[in-house]
Structures are given as C-alpha cells and as structure tokens.
Structure 1
Amino acid sequence: MKLRILKSSVTNPWFNLATEDWIFQALDANSHTLFLWRNSETVVIGRSQNPWVECKIDKMEADDIFLARRQSGGGAVFHDLGNTNFTFLSPKDSYDQDANFTIIINALKKLGIEADLSGRNDMQVGDKKISGSAFKHAADRSFHHGTLLVNANMQKLGDYLNPHPLKLKAKGIKSVRARVANLKEFNEDINHERLSDAIIEAFCEHYGDTAPVEELDEASLAKQPALNTYYQQMADWEWRFGKTPEFSHHIETRFDWGIIDLHLDVKQAVVSEVVIFSDALNVELIDLLKETLTGAKYNKKEIKDKLDGLATARPELAAQVEDVEKWLVGEMEG
C-alpha cells in the first residue's frame, strides 16, 4: 500500500482543520497518509463545546487569537507555533492505532526523548503529558490526530481558556487540564522542522517505503474545490459559534430605576427566548428589551447594535436602555 505525506506551510488554523477534513472526507483512503501542520495562536474547541464557557472571547479578539471548532469531540486546547500537529489516515481494514503511536514514539527516540503511551490517547515523558490524540472512524477509513507540545507558551493557555465563571448552564463538555510539559525541556535543540523530519523518517521506516513530501499552501485551496468548501465552513461564524449546544445565561442587577433579572436562552448562538423579571415601573421598557434581544446573535457587537437602535428609536428610554446595554455587554465578556 502506498504512502502519502502532506505538510502544511500555512499556519491559519481554519486552513489546517479544513485540510484535515478534506483528507478525511475526500482523499483516496487506499494509502497510509501522514499530515503534519501547526497553527498560529488559536483556541481550538471540540465539536460539542461552548466557546463562551471555554474561552475569553474578548481577550482573544483583542489579541488576534483565532477561534476554531474541530469536527471531532473532546476539550478546548490552545495551539501556537510551539505545537506540532500530526494526522494519520488509513483504510479501515489496515488501520493500526498502536502503529501510529509507535511512529511518534520512535520519532521522539531519534531526538533522544523517551516517551510512552499513557491511557488510550495521551503520550508522556516521565509523568508529564506531551501529547494528546483523538480518533474518528468512517465506513472505509480511520483517522487519528494529535498534538505534540514542542515549545508551546503554557502561560497563554491560561490567558485564553477558563473565563470568569459566568452564570452559564452549558449542555456540553467542559475541558479538563492536565500536567503538561514541552519537549524542549527534554531536548533543547528540538523544533517543528526537526520533529517533522523525524516523524516522516519514522513513518517511512515503519511501512518500509517512502513518498515525496507534498507541501500544502494557500494555492492548494484553488486546486481543490472540496478543500476550499471545507475552509469556508471552518472560517464561518455559523460553524465556530452557531454550532454551540443550547445554553442559558442568567444575570441580575439593580439600577436606580429598578431590578433587572434577565434570562437568555441561546440556541445555535442566537437568543431564542428572553425572560425578564423586574420591578421597574416602565413595563413597556421591559417588553421592548425582550423584543429587541430575541433573535439577536449572542455576540457583543450585535447585541450592542440592537440596543443602540432601540435607544435611538425611543429617546425617552435611552438612559435606561444604555444602562442595560453597558451591563449586559460587560457581563458577556468571556
């Protein structure tokens, strides 16, 4: 069976996750395929996760950090150029998960690092986790992807994950943090290129064959319509935010004109229902707030724009609407 080796020179996570999808869905499965890639600073969330629960969305936007949602499950991870990501694709009948782990372990051995398998999907050096994996299976093909911590900025992981504990009751998976270490701790000369070369070498040795390395770049999108389609999906707000499992956001506060106890039900990142309990004298204000917020994207800019529109349309209510806007948008910081 022939080998195929793909390597991305692009660090845009939407491109790389789209390439993974393209490999899984559209590539000829009658080969053992290896794909190596890395991302610019990105929080990658699992398919069933809530970005508002997992990430500090505001801080990410301010610092130009990508948000990506992968097709597979699992928790939130932070990627930067200090992470090397690997993907193996094999026909279902010759897929061998142990072989994939052996290839990575052998590659690390070449760099003087003794790693072993921990549990079903992690690799560690000593008692420190250096790699996590996830798996996906279809009728005719199987897929294994993982990440290796080479020289990742561990501080950033804390900067962008785990927001202030908002009162969000999420239906979805919350991430678990583990004791982790960079491979650089065990070999200071290691980098993405050296590690990639070692993985390619171990991959070819394992299968007793060789293949040219195919470099993927932006031009690949133009040549592969299916890849471009996946890219558009990965980059789309509807995929990254809209696919969030249903959740509710409950906040309350006291203004000098009354108490507002606000419940937002959010489905596919759109406010589907608004319930407001209040002792404010102006009942019309409460009805207008409900009406304005229902159907809005759960997105600070959109909610701000909608409430600005209400304040402009009803100048006599503008002061109260602005109070609510400032408070609600502030509480949505994640």
Structure 2
Amino acid sequence: MALVQRNIFKVSAILARCNFRTYSTPVEEKDIKKSVFISQSKDIFANLALENWLYKNFDFTNHHILMLWQNEPCVVIGRHQNPWLEANISELHNITEQGVKLARRNSGGGTVFHDQGNLNMTFFTARNRYNRKYNLEIITRALFREFGVKLQISPREDLTLRDCKVSGTAAKLGRPSAYHHCTLLVNVNKLCLSQALQKLDVGIQTNATKSIKSKIMNLCEENPKVNVKTLFKAIGWEYLRTPALTIKDGGMELANTQKGFQMINPTEQWFPGIEEMKDELQSWKWLYGKTPKFTISRSFTVPENLLINTDVPDDLKIAMVVENGKITDVNLFVPPGLVTGGFSGDVNVITSLIGQKFSEDVLDNLEWSLGALVSDKDKFVTDCVRQVMTSV
C-alpha cells in the first residue's frame, strides 16, 4: 500500500467521507475506523483552523483521526497564556529571514516553538475515549520500530530521552469530542527556539498559565537517521496498525482495513467556514485580547544630575494594568527629588494611554501624555515609560 492515498476531491467528495457530528450510540472497538490526515499547509493559522474545524464538525464516535502537520517558524502559546511573558515579541520578526509568527491555540498548556524540524500530531477521538497515554505509546512504538530510539513517558506525560524533553503537549476536552496534540522535536533550530522564547524578568504579575522551562533535545541528536519525512510514515502506520482503544499490534492486516492516509488541504473549498476560523485566530483580539489581566511594574534609578535638593535619592516607579490586551490604568511615582515646585508622589491615570492597546504603537503619545511634568525631566520620564512598553 502506498504511503499516501492521493485523492483529489471536490468539496462534496471530501465532506462525504467525513462523519458529521451526531450523537450516536456507543460502538465496539472493532467497529471504530481510523484515518491519518496530512495537512498540505505549513501556515500555523490554517492548521490551527483545520484542527478547530474538525473538532467542531466531525463525529468521532466510530472514526478516529490522527492529523499530521508542520509549520513555518512560529511561537504557539496556550489559550490562557500571556504572549508578552512567553515570547520575545519585539524581536520575533528578526529571528529568521521570514520572521517568526505568534499564534494562540484553542487548547491550554504551555508555549512551544515550531519550525519544519517539528512534527505536529493531533489525535481526535470522542470525549469518552480521550487517552493521552495511548497516543504517546503510539509515538514511542513507532520510534522504536523504525529507528530503535527508546523514548520514555514522564509522570507529566511528556516524551523524554536521556532526561531531556523531546515533545510538547496540550489538549482540548469538550463534549462530545476531544483532541490531544503534541509536537515532536526532530531537527528543530534550537538557536531560533531560544531566541524566540528568551525572556527577561520584566516584572509582570499575572494569574495566566506560565510555561515551565525544560531541558530539550532533538531526536536527530540520538539517531541522525530520524527525520520528519520518515516519521510521517512511521507514526501514521503505527497508528493504523493499532486498535482504536488498546495498545497491541494488529499488524498490516489491521492497518489495511482502516481508511488510510489522506492529503488534506485546509481551504474554504474543502472545509466551508474554515477561513472565518483562520481570520479569528490571526486577529489582534484573539492573539492579544484574550490575555488574562496583568500588571507590569518597573523601577528606574534617577540620575544624580537630575535630582534637586535631596539627600535621599528615590526611584521612579511605573505600574501599568493591562486587561483584554488594553491599558486600563497607569501609575507613576515621581520622587520628590526629580521635580521642582513641590510636585511629587503618585501621578495616576495618564489619560491618553488608557484604553489603548498595549503595544509599541502607544509610544507615539508619550511625549504629549507626560507634558505636565517639568520640561527638563520629560525625556528621562518618557524614556522610562518607553522601556516599560518595549521590555515585553
């Protein structure tokens, strides 16, 4: 059997193969069929939209799907994360020749970096059959069968090799469907990964989910023969030769009874409504507006040459509150030694900043916003506020 059953479908044909959502009665394991979908797109937003489309429209009662996909360089944060805390936002466009995109997925969990050295996998099932351990066992068996590489499944249900993580994982559990997706580090550019995810402690206080840093390695470091192209085949066949609910080898006899491999094109023609999903995933409202409320606070030492009539230097302190991606409050504490005429203490709500998006675009208003301060100190105070905005 060829690796991929290359079917050039009209939209009616591809949709005819889909089991659209119904509320069917339970079925036995032997009656559950499997498909491997391989996305032809390397656009993170198209692939996340395809994942969401299948989750919302497909009935997985008697048909499980493994979706295999790759992306051009991107940082993918979890649904409940803070992009300014997780990614090097201001430098993403400089890290590779084409830049690194930022995306927020629908599932929870931590931040991951993707490039074409990753293999991404999404396991779709009905909610009552969600089994992350089963999915990870499929991957470990495929790696061992094809390359002799023996992965471990950690207590946190990550894939590890020599005490290093080789995968990232997340899930979405709904009714009646669920999916578990993970990314496998095969030959990822670790320098770009480090640059994209490198963050300093910028003083953000938030309840958003925070990523846990781990030591990582590529599978090709263990066995140079491991590559993404071969893994498409190895993991796909391992999935098809394994029964839907139990980890045992059904061999090619079982694999040949499944629905096989299908090349999938995540476009509006194939999946009506997917473009709207893609547009939403690319929108500022989704990428940044979904960020949980946070406060960023910074202190700056006032240069001695700017201090006036004080023997007790104090710091300039700035705090910004950001909610739904927009600035809702700003507080400046201007130390007495920085100003003349008795002007000191908290300067609340710099009104021109309130309600604006938390982005570098807001910097254009700073000089006007801070015009009430003593003129010869404006530059220092303005630069401090600028640093708060650009440090993330």
TM category (shorter chain) comes to: 0.7 to 0.9
Partners of 2:212 and 2:170 in 1: how far apart?
A: 15
On the 8 A contact 1:56/1:333 being kept in 2, the answer is no
Shift of the 299–185 alpha-carbon distance from structure 1 to 2, 3 Å rule, reads same
Give, in angstroms, the shift of residue 125 of structure 1: 2.9
Which structure dedicates a bigger proportion of its chain to strand? 1
Cross-structure match for 1:29: 60
Kindly indicate whether residue 281 of structure 2 is the aligned counterpart of residue 249 of structure 1: no
Q: Secondary structure at the match of 1:293?
A: coil
On the 8 A contact 1:167/1:250 being kept in 2, the answer is yes
On the 8 A contact 1:121/1:132 being kept in 2, the answer is no
Q: Which amino acid aligns with 2:263?
A: E
Cross-structure match for 1:269: 325
Q: Secondary structure at the match of 1:225?
A: coil
Kindly indicate whether residue 252 of structure 2 is the aligned counterpart of residue 216 of structure 1: no
Partners of 1:83 and 1:326 in 2: how far apart?
A: 40
Name whichever of 173-182 and 198-207 sits farther off: 173-182
1:163 is matched with which residue: 199, 204, 225? 199
Give, in angstroms, the shift of residue 72 of structure 1: 1.5
On the 8 A contact 1:26/1:226 being kept in 2, the answer is no
Cross-structure match for 2:161: 125
Q: Secondary structure at the match of 2:135?
A: helix
Q: Secondary structure at the match of 2:238?
A: helix
Partners of 1:308 and 1:55 in 2: how far apart?
A: 28
Which runs of structure 2 are paired with 1:1-334 in the superposition (5 Å)?
1-30=32-61, 31-63=63-95, 64-112=99-147, 113-207=149-243, 208=254, 209-217=257-265, 220-253=267-300, 254=302, 256=306, 260-278=316-334, 279=336, 280-281=339-340, 290-301=350-361, 303-307=362-366, 323-331=380-388, 332-334=390-392
Q: Deviations over 1:45-103 (max 9, x none)?
A: 11221111122111113332111111222222211111101001012344443432222
Partners of 1:74 and 1:93 in 2: how far apart?
A: 21
Q: Secondary structure at the match of 2:110?
A: coil
Shift of the 33–323 alpha-carbon distance from structure 1 to 2, 3 Å rule, reads same
Give, in angstroms, the shift of residue 273 of structure 1: 1.0
Partners of 2:204 and 2:373 in 1: how far apart?
A: 32
Q: Which amino acid aligns with 2:364?
A: D
On the 8 A contact 1:53/1:170 being kept in 2, the answer is no
Partners of 1:316 and 1:333 in 2: how far apart?
A: 23
Partners of 1:295 and 1:321 in 2: how far apart?
A: 23
Which structure dedicates a bigger proportion of its chain to helix? 1
Q: Deviations over 1:249-303 (max 9, x none)?
A: 12233373887432211101100012222243586xx9797011111111012x1
Give, in angstroms, the shift of residue 318 of structure 1: 7.8
Partners of 2:242 and 2:367 in 1: how far apart?
A: 62
Give, in angstroms, the shift of residue 321 of structure 1: 5.3
Please tell me whether Structure 1 or Structure 2 has the larger radius of gyration of its CA atoms.
Answer: 2
Q: Secondary structure at the match of 2:273?
A: helix
Shift of the 212–56 alpha-carbon distance from structure 1 to 2, 3 Å rule, reads same
Partners of 2:48 and 2:36 in 1: how far apart?
A: 16
Partners of 1:289 and 1:172 in 2: how far apart?
A: 24
TM-score by length of 1: 0.88
Q: Which runs of 5+ in 1 are unaligned?
A: none
Q: Which amino acid aligns with 2:391?
A: E
Partners of 2:65 and 2:55 in 1: how far apart?
A: 10
TM-score by length of 2: 0.76
Partners of 1:54 and 1:120 in 2: how far apart?
A: 20
Paired residue total: 329
Identity %: 28
Q: Which amino acid aligns with 1:72?
A: S
RMSD, aligned α-carbons = 2.7
Shift of the 271–95 alpha-carbon distance from structure 1 to 2, 3 Å rule, reads closer
